[in-house]
Chains A and B, each alone.
Chain A
Amino acid sequence: MASASVSGVPLLEGALVEGRWPEWFVASRQRGWADFQHLPAPAPKDEKWRFSKVKALALDSFRYPAAVADAAALVARSTGLGESAARFVFANNRLLAATAPAAGLLKAGLVVMTLEEAARQHADLVEKHFMAQEFKLGSAKYAALHRSGPVNGVFIRVPKNLEVAQPIEIFHWVEGENSAVFPHTLVVCERQSKATVVDCFRSADDEPAFACGVNDLVVEEGAKLNYVAVQQWSLAATAFHLNSTTVGRDACCLGMQVNLGGKFVRGESYSRMVAEGARSDMLSVNIAGGDQLIDQRTFQDHAKPSATSDLLYQNALTGKGRTVFSGVIRVEPGAHKTDAYQKVRNIVLSDEAEANSMPGLEIEADDVRCTHGATTAQVDDRELFYLLARGIRPEAAQQLLVMGFFNTVLDRLPDARLRGQIEGLVEKRLSAALRG
């Protein structure tokens, strides 16, 4: 890629000297850069940016960061579940540490490696699935920016019939004022395989930063993937997280987005059921406190009959926190016997917080069962009094009730240890958000 093409964009300047990427990838980058340049920036009147804050998207101040000062310290702070099948730690777009899968899993064909390495060693698979879905939910320009940028992250291939018991953990850190990072996770679960993948997005400090992340999840026939993203960027960060999921015949993908950090977070989750019997669980737990804006757009795309999608997004808002949810269930012609659910629930804990919900349906088939709904409520007075009447102090009572609200989502995670870890992180952030 000609370095001249990115001059004047501090975000990318100097970025692309990192890594050894194959020709096809460099060509993809160039396409990404061309797209980024010609695609229009979001306008306030754009339906796909309704209730959002396009002014928050000035990217001029962000730049490509130097390597982190103390890699060992960040690796030490990358504590997750304790035990995992593999663990990769990235910071400021560079790999800091990697714990490869055990020999038995490698021998069984499990691949967990950096995307850069995979782009050479598994070029066919990576090229086939890397950002293969169209970005329809409003952020095509930022998807193009990601494609043109210094993407870094992990490629996972779970071979057919292999069940990976322990989660695969990936940490992405950002450090330094106005640093920009481009995390990417690509997972291919082949037929009848099972795996759990956890992405942890963290800031090493409280500085403003920019994250432009994408994941591609491909779940083939009869496979089962649990994917959890725990976003804990600093409360000054701007972040995009664009998720694409493809679910095959009788396959099942459970995706959970947990947003605890970020000043402006734009999440887009697109899930496509491409064969009969496919199932996609789209879950999200979000805390918007202070002046955070968490803006999420979702798309449940039923291309084939007899598939299921079940979306449950829950938001707790404090301070001047804002959330936006806009979701579409689309049932394509012929996708009969679709079962699709979409529910967003907001609990508003402050007079100045604002939750916007825009559920939607586009149905072009017969004999389908689709429901959607959005609720916004405060803490229930009767429930609160019940807790107070047991001697629980008001702050603790509120915390307990909101955690109860979130538990209804967290309970959907099949892995108790992972669930416990996430519950702890949510509880900690909630406690801080409630104290303002």
Chain B
Amino acid sequence: MKHLKIDNLHVSIGQSEILRGLSLDLPTGQVHAIMGPNGSGKSTLAKVIAGHPDYTVTSGDILVDGESILEMEPDARARQGIFLAFQYPSEIPGVTIANFLRAALQARLPEGKELEATEYYAKLYEKMDLLEMPRTFTSRAVNEGFSGGEKKRCEILQMAMLQPTFALLDETDSGLDIDALKIVSHGVNSLRGPETGMLVITHYQRLLNYIVPDFVHVMVNGRIVESGTKELALKLEAEGYDWATEPEAEAVAV
């Protein structure tokens, strides 16, 4: 079992502090959900773990199996097994999905070793079938002109191909209709297993009906304020986030 450990993490962008002492332990084999209102810092957490250069870690640490990854470049973190499924995936004009994924897999091979084309395509087609993606997708430019649902499916396809140790799913349900949500969730669920830890970030409980988490954390104002099992998500669904934000509001009022 491996651990992705977030230890009292403080993160700023420019002058404003977004994460304010966040701690979390995600072992492989588990799915943790992070829920919270808009602006609570959920997406920041995902991007900081992936190494996005816009954010500054002012204190605390991010560790994989006890080793800090803060000094690692984003590409090195990805090769180490961290995968971020973006909330807003970039369009990459002129770069086909096939070439893009080949480059990503090639980067994981030792120097001088070439990716085996037949195996690559066999795996690619298998994963595309899983996500009900037509074969013509391989020759389309990454995310270019994709619908919201196609973009999210493409993110999960990449995750399936790269087989990360820790997957961070940032609002994967946003922009999906119910059919697309089912396909994407099916794809995600098929990747669950003892070798993979998942952090599912969402604003709504709906996604968690399909990707059932082992633990749920509630994030408010850059901290985790409550942790529990999947029933916690149902409570949030019923009561909203007000109860969780109140202490902060009182503190401000004082």
Contact = CB atoms under 8 A, between A and B. Distances in A.
Interface of A: 380-383, 385-394, 396-397, 400-401, 403-408, 411
A388 B89 CA distance: 13
Contacts of B83: 389
Contacts of A388: 51, 73-75, 78
B107 A392 contact: yes
B117 to A, nearest CB: 15
A391 B90 contact: no
Contacts of B91: 383
A405 B162 CA distance: 25
A396 B105 CA distance: 12
B95 A407 contact: yes
A405 B93 contact: yes
Contacts of B212: none
Contact of B78 (A383, A390, A396): A390
Interface stretch (B96-104, B186-194, B200-208): B96-104
A404 B89 CA distance: 17
Contacts of B73: 388, 394
Contacts of A411: 94
B53 interface: yes
Contact of A382 (B78, B90, B93, B162): B90
A42 to B, nearest CB: 36
Contact of A401 (B52, B95, B106, B158): B95
B78 A400 contact: no
B155 to A, nearest CB: 10
A313 to B, nearest CB: 15
B89 A386 contact: yes
B92 interface: yes
B50 interface: yes
B93 A408 contact: yes
Contacts of A381: 53
7 contacts: A381-B53, A392-B104, A393-B107, A396-B106, A400-B99, A404-B95, A408-B94
Q: How many B residues touch the partner, as a band?
A: 20 to 34
A391 B94 contact: no
B234 interface: no
Nearest to A381: B53
Given A385-B74, A400-B103, A404-B141, A391 B162 contact: yes
Contact of A390 (B53, B94, B104): B104
B53 A391 contact: no
A397 B75 CA distance: 10
Chain B CB count within 10 A is highest, among A382, A390, A403, for A390
A390 B100 contact: yes
B94 A406 contact: yes
Contact of A386 (B92, B94, B106): B92
Given A382-B90, A383-B90, A396-B103, A389 B78 contact: yes
Given A385-B74, A388-B73, A389-B50, A396 B107 contact: yes
Given A388-B51, A392-B104, 8 more contacts: A383-B92, A389-B50, A390-B78, A391-B79, A391-B104, A394-B73, A403-B94, A407-B141
* A-B residue pairs, 4 tightest by C-beta: A404-B94, A407-B94, A391-B78, A404-B95
B195 to A, nearest CB: 17
